[in-house]
Structure 1
Amino acid sequence: MYPRPNGTESGDALDDEGAGEFRFSDYNQRVVVASLNLLISVFGIFGNVLVILAVALSRRLRTITNAFVVSLSVADLLTCMSLPFNAANLLHSDLGNSMFPDLVCKTLALILYTCGGCSLYTLAAIALNRYILITKSVKTYRSLYTPFKVAVMVTATWFVPLLVAFVPPLFGLGELGYAEKYGTCNHKTSNPLSHIYSIFQAVLFYPGPMVIIVICYVKIFKHVKQHCQNMMTSSSLELSISSSIQTKEAFHPKENNSVTRRLTSSRRQIDITKNLFCVVLAFVICVSPFGIALMIPPSDPFIPWAAVFLAFNSCVNPVIYATKHPQFRQVFRLMLRCQFNKIQPDPFVRKAVIRRR
């Protein structure tokens, strides 16, 4: 057992005044949590940089959906870059004080809260994009997902979480900075309204986007199921949604496509949707323990561990892309082999872009 900085046993969860308030004072646990954060940081930085570079280098990955994927990777990358600072705080011998100036700690807290919220809002935006892509008309998709509107959507997924994280402290509802209770930079637990800030974050970040995600993927599932039934009973495969999906993603109709090509495109889009649903499922598994713990005060001892689950999501998405998404997997393989000259754009997309110009 490691002694607490104030001289009590490391397993003692009481604060200095004996009031029974939880403190994450067990140095053994702090070392484990800090080590996990460092591992997540290393793998997360590496993986998310790969995702961003893959989209930047490969023209066939430059789709509207992947604009949101890149935004999600940037949020995860910033999160991973912030984790070593909290790991250093956890390993610091003085639990009552941060290793870093207050301004640095507040900035780190703002980054972590904003990126966490951005991840949720971006996943909701991706779910909505897939829903419209698969179930709506070409005209509807084109009108909603112009380059300008996509830029506005991506900006909104960052700006709204930033406001949610930054505005409440301006009105005295909590304060960003060093949390003495947990030994990390998030929000000051010494503030008498810190619990209100936690609930505020959990309520505004979690339910809304999750409702959008669930509704969109349920509707996609129903649409695909109905479409498959129509394909089995219809005498003409021309009713297939594959033609509209191919048109939307490539931004150019190809009137002489064969039925086989259309069906292949349709399956590809459905597979991509399934893969992105895996990303959503991973996020739900990782974020739910933390979101629930924030709303239940007696769960304080579990929050540092729930935060590890939350941070783990920042490095798991590249693994999903590498194992489930064939285009990402191919580009990742070429990048890791330093064969950048072999990363070629899709000929169909290249022709579509030329004709569109």
Structure 2
Amino acid sequence: MTGFQYPTGMASTIMGAPSLGNALCPILGALFFLSIYVSLLSMVLIAFNRCIHITKSTDTYRKLFSPFKSFLWVLLSWVVSGVLVAPAFLGYGEFGWNKAHVCGIINENPYSPHYISNIYGVTYWLVFCVVAGLYLRIYIYVKDSVVKMAVANQNPVNFEHFVSIRVIKQTKHMFIMFSVFTVCSAPSVLLYSINVHEPFMSPGAIVAFFSLYRLNYVLNPFLYGWKLPVFRRAFKALIRCKRHLPFQPGAPVN
């Protein structure tokens, strides 16, 4: 989806007209917002997965995140993303060629500003609060576990009741991804959600904030590859056009 939407969007901006014609421009605009919603809900799923993995028993985690149920979680995130895009096709906003020379939301439609603030903006900040709350729950749980162990001054007997260092490191890495996403996207979402009602941003400022927003998509692969060995292996396999790389004994693959 990103490989289709972003190159055609850049071509449209350079050409000053929809690169695939006016008929497909609303689809490209919808895909832009769909990619945002999928990214947001993916972060919720990651944080929820980490929270259950750390704060609940292994049996509970496996019941909630079996391969099939994990597929259903991801499918649900796409369905919800589609539902969030749908109002703009039903009259509550409109996708198409706009004044910024991109296929996106058309500000001339009287309901488009309300779509930006009430659906796009509210969804973003709701996701932010949920994800931040989940990571805070993880932090408090791990902190309390460490304190209890220190007070008891004893080694854990039942390891299932304690969090492994590997799992904590993985969770820290995912929190870093969430923090980078927030730093890159929050200014754009906040200011643009206001600007659609009361214009106060110059065209140059809008371009700068949206460039910062899209910087997140550029940084993501490098952050994942830098922090998570399993992603480094996956990226190497993609570059070498191989389905998988040979297993290396002792290599941290998780």
TM-score, normalisation: structure 2: 0.85
Q: Paired residue for 1:86?
A: 9
Aligned residues: 245
Q: From the CA coordinates, give the structure whose radius of gyration is larger.
A: 1
Task: Write the mapping of 1:32-111 to structure 2, written as runs, cut at 5 A.
Answer: 78-93=1-16, 97-111=17-31
Match among 209, 214, 219 for residue 137 of structure 2: 219
Is residue 58–residue 160 contact of structure 2 (8 Å, CA) maintained in 1?
no
d(CA) in 1 for partners of 2:244 and 2:112?
Answer: 53
d(CA) in 1 for partners of 2:123 and 2:248?
Answer: 37
2:174 paired with 1:276: yes
The CA deviation at 1:154 is: 0.6
| Matched residue type, 1:326 | P
| Matched residue type, 1:81 | F
Residues 4-25 of structure 1 deviation map (CA, whole Å, 9 limit, x = unaligned): xxxxxxxxxxxxxxxxxxxxxx
Point out where structure 2 has 5 or more consecutive residues left out of the alignment: none
Match among 300, 305, 323 for residue 208 of structure 2: 305
| Matched residue type, 2:56 | K
d(CA) in 2 for partners of 1:346 and 1:204?
Answer: 47
Point out where structure 1 has 5 or more consecutive residues left out of the alignment: 1-77, 246-262, 348-357
d(CA) in 1 for partners of 2:54 and 2:249?
Answer: 21
**Please, what is the CA RMSD of the aligned residues?**
2.6
2:208 paired with 1:285: no
TM-score, normalisation: structure 1: 0.62
Is residue 177–residue 223 contact of structure 2 (8 Å, CA) maintained in 1?
yes
| Matched residue type, 2:176 | C
The CA deviation at 1:307 is: 1.9
Is residue 110–residue 162 contact of structure 1 (8 Å, CA) maintained in 2?
no
d(CA) in 2 for partners of 1:140 and 1:332?
Answer: 31
The CA deviation at 1:123 is: 0.1
| Matched residue type, 1:83 | Y
| Matched residue type, 2:179 | L
Residues 280-328 of structure 1 deviation map (CA, whole Å, 9 limit, x = unaligned): 0111112112211222122362323222222222222211121111333
Is residue 106–residue 178 contact of structure 1 (8 Å, CA) maintained in 2?
yes
Identity percentage of aligned residues: 27
Q: Paired residue for 1:161?
A: 81
Distance of aligned partners of 1:341 and 1:329 in 2 relative to their CA distance in 1, 3 Å threshold: closer
**Whose relative contact order is higher, 1 or 2, with alpha carbons under 8 Å and at least 6 apart?**
1
Q: Paired residue for 2:219?
A: 316
